[in-house]
Structure 1
Amino acid sequence: MAGKADLVIAGGGFAGLGLALALKTELGAGFSVVIVDPVLGKGPSRDPRSSSIATGARRFLEKLGVWQAVADQAQPILDMVITDSKLDDPIRPSFLSFAGDVEPGEPFGHMVENRLLLDALVARAETLGVELRGQGASVSRYKLTEDGITAELPSGDDIATQLLAAADGGRSRLREQAGIAMHGWDYGQSGIVTTVEHELDHEGRAEEHFLPAGPFAILPLTGRRSSLVWTERTGEANRILSLDDAGFHAELERRFGLKLGELKVIGPRAAFPLSMRIARNFIADRLALVGDAAHIIHPIAGQGLNMGIRDAAALAECVVDAAALGLDIGSPDVLERYQRWRRFDTVSMGIATDGLNRLFSNDHDAIRLVRDVGLGLVERFPAAKRLFIREATGLTGTVPRLMR
């Protein structure tokens, strides 16, 4: 016989954990949530990446009681500089810079190591009474019933629920079972990620160098450390990753420069293929897609994780409002509201990041001239810069309550 829960979430990443915490925070102990993910219960996270947490996402995490656990290890982004040059240009002039607070004393973003934030989310979920099923457990399929949906686990410990949230990543099996197509393309690029230590203080400054192969982002971490997101054509990325330490350091220094003094790679290096994929629908019968199961975009604007958190905040609000009225939280009306809310925003961001990547990941002199003139114009108009900052913070459009 199947167990029961008000909501089942397949996937214990940022979006899945954020959704669970939002619902427990808003609806209390009487609302039962189960997260199923094979990684849960295997000890501290080993995710080597770091992420930019926009203002809206940071407010969300703060209201869930999570941010407080990582605040001391989160680096405020106080300034951002954008350059556009060829790889071997001796000088990389700054065409655009962003500085300032969203509100007094509130930076427009922070950098946090993924492993720290994931561990804080899991710890908070345990405190609030979210049931975590890990150690190899997964939701392999689902079955619709007369009055709900059943999450099927390979172990046979199925869970009957009103709503199933698919937060099981870009290769979501639940999305595939629902017959929801993903539309998009591969970029032929890979993002190399690692962490470096440098001799001089970054002073909270993020830098994004637009190079012909793609953006090379230097993102400040606490101490004299920075996280790198280094975009290359996939073949070149594989070549660079295969180099010995000295060869990798030489390639890194060509792109990073010596502005922050001597460099030392202190984190593992890895590469991830880059693509854009957006689900044709974000919902099916009693099923909602959140995070990478619904969308994957280019990291050029650092919005991937923030979009997943916004999905979680929006779906939680739809569920909370329905529950407050005594309605079925898995009904078509509830899910349609979520889809209307999130799909347009997602498509808009996907188009924007795709356009930026295509505009800057090339070496055509005429295009470089046009884009550099455009960057210079934005630099000269404070109102335009404020608009870009506001968009990057996740505080435009209809903002979920927990992100305000």
Structure 2
Amino acid sequence: MTENIYDIAVVGAGAVGLSAALAFARDGYRTVLIGGLDVRRDGRTVALLNGSVRFLEALGVWPAVASVAAPLETMRIIDDTGSLFRPPPAGFRAGEIGLDAFGWNIENVALVEKLAEAARASESLTLAPEFATGFAADDAGASIMLADGAVIRAGLVVAADGRNSRLRQIAGISTQTWSYPQSAVTVILAHDREHWEASTEFHTRHGPFTLVPLPGRRSSLVWVTSKDDAERLSTLDDAALALAIERQAQSHLGAMRIDGPRGLVPMSGLSVNRYWSRNLALVGEAAHVFPPIGAQGLNLGFRDVAALRDAVVDGGDAGHSPGSDETLTRYQRGRDLDVRLRTAAVDGLNRTLLTGMIPTDFLRGAGLLALSNIGPLRRIVMREGVLPRVGVPRLMQGVSSV
């Protein structure tokens, strides 16, 4: 690298970090992306909701991403808890709210690869494939120390370095963490029957069992269950695991075959007391961690990036630098309520499945029954889930020119 001074430095080359670097470079900021790519397959996928699709369209990468993703046109919820108040299956179709799909499902590694291709092709983005080892801020901006001894200066540092964020720790931003008595088994499956672009979520007493379509007769699975059961499932050979999955899915997609790597993910959460410190903004899992329920984690990370981009652009119009306290306070205001609401929703859903209390089962069953039978209510809930009307960053509104 011949130039070590930038407007914005993004630390972390996962999907969130890559998207942040592309977004700021797109707007003309001198941007550097720091960190090495991790493209190991781990059996995990992400369902990109409508706002994330619009965001990727604005970055110019959506056609490449869509080529290896599958649309989610229908969502089904089946109560398999054994509750006395078991409602009939509930179905939601994207066409009811004027969309072709609620979102698109893609393997995590494929998404990172497509974003990395765009980053390498960007003439206005510098790539520094070293790991950040230190961070400091002063009146002149921020400094990032790299593993090879180089130092990078930037007006704003974006910490996209994951749940164990080194930059967050150095900045002294405190966290709250929690865990659940569950783990999630993740795996890619092939199956005999068509999924017809429908995801199916079985609510069991130990957590959701969710099948989400991939291109072809393939689906991804997130099976949330007790820690002991998850450990047992993870030790099964491919044939035995495929049979266990087929039985839990009530043969919904016919015979199953393991068609990719497996993952075993402890169920946990993390939140921060603030999203920024001097010349530093947290995005993605550096700011919040969700259990793999409800497709919230990465979609919220993309919203972080789009909201930070808006705060930087608007702050610049008001005469503030990208890393100023005024700009980052604006970012905090834009993210705090959204993340808190989504955290509460995911946590609440998971805990209602675990309680086994009759009043809780009744309320959950009544809620699903109402969504199934009251069209206007169902459409309001669907729109809020994928097309929220308040506080949506501009790049997620389909406004690619601002």
TM superposition shift of 1:115: 1.7
Task: Select which of 219, 222, 244 maps to 1:229.
Answer: 222
* CA shift in 2, pair 1:247/1:106, >3 Å: closer
Question: Which structure 2 residues correspond to residues 265-344 of structure 1 after superposition, within 5 A?
Answer: 265-344=258-337
* CA shift in 2, pair 1:125/1:148, >3 Å: same
For 2:262 and 2:41, the matched residues in 1 are separated by: 13
For 2:96 and 2:280, the matched residues in 1 are separated by: 35
Aligned to 2:9: 8
For 2:99 and 2:93, the matched residues in 1 are separated by: 12
TM superposition shift of 1:146: 2.4
TM superposition shift of 1:20: 1.2
Aligned to 2:61: 66
Aligned to 2:156: 163
For 1:2 and 1:75, the matched residues in 2 are separated by: 41
TM superposition shift of 1:299: 2.2
For 2:252 and 2:266, the matched residues in 1 are separated by: 29
TM superposition shift of 1:383: 2.0
CA contact (8 A) 1:82 1:208 kept: yes
Q: What letter is aligned with 2:37?
A: V
CA contact (8 A) 2:48 2:104 kept: yes
Question: Which structure 2 residues correspond to residues 45-124 of structure 1 after superposition, within 5 A?
Answer: 46-86=41-81, 94-101=88-95, 104-124=98-118
Task: Select which of 379, 383, 387 maps to 2:376.
Answer: 383
SS in 1 for 2:368: helix
SS in 2 for 1:142: strand
CA contact (8 A) 1:48 1:115 kept: no
SS in 1 for 2:377: helix
Aligned to 2:119: 125
Question: Which structure 2 residues correspond to residues 163-182 of structure 1 after superposition, within 5 A?
Answer: 163-182=156-175
Q: What letter is aligned with 2:52?
A: A
CA contact (8 A) 2:186 2:223 kept: yes
For 1:126 and 1:386, the matched residues in 2 are separated by: 41
For 1:375 and 1:356, the matched residues in 2 are separated by: 12
SS in 2 for 1:360: helix
Gaps of 5+ in 1: none
Question: Which structure 2 residues correspond to residues 120-159 of structure 1 after superposition, within 5 A?
Answer: 120-129=114-123, 130-134=125-129, 137-159=130-152
Summarize deviations over 1:1-23 as a string: whole Å, max 9, x none.
99211111110112111111111
Summarize deviations over 1:113-166 as a string: whole Å, max 9, x none.
2222111111111222321222xx211221122211101112211101101111
CA contact (8 A) 2:135 2:143 kept: yes
SS in 1 for 2:190: strand
For 2:50 and 2:158, the matched residues in 1 are separated by: 25
SS in 1 for 2:261: coil
TM superposition shift of 1:259: 2.1
TM-score by length of 1: 0.92
Task: Select which of 19, 32, 35 maps to 2:33.
Answer: 35
For 1:187 and 1:2, the matched residues in 2 are separated by: 46
For 1:311 and 1:227, the matched residues in 2 are separated by: 26
CA contact (8 A) 2:87 2:366 kept: no
TM-score by length of 2: 0.92
TM superposition shift of 1:317: 1.3
What is the number of residues matched between the two proteins? 393
For 1:350 and 1:259, the matched residues in 2 are separated by: 30
For 2:32 and 2:250, the matched residues in 1 are separated by: 48
Aligned to 2:396: 403
Structure 1 runs, 4 residues or longer, greater than 6 Å off: none
Q: What letter is aligned with 1:292?
A: E
* CA shift in 2, pair 1:314/1:107, >3 Å: same
CA contact (8 A) 2:135 2:167 kept: yes
* CA shift in 2, pair 1:47/1:132, >3 Å: farther
TM superposition shift of 1:48: 3.1
Summarize deviations over 1:42-77 as a string: whole Å, max 9, x none.
xx5535311100000000001111111122222111
CA contact (8 A) 1:81 1:94 kept: no
Gaps of 5+ in 2: 398-402
Give % identity.
Answer: 36
SS in 1 for 2:224: strand
SS in 1 for 2:188: strand
Say what the alpha-carbon RMSD is for the aligned residues.
Answer: 2.0
Name which of structure 1's ranges 318-327 and 238-247 shifts more when overlaid on structure 2. 318-327
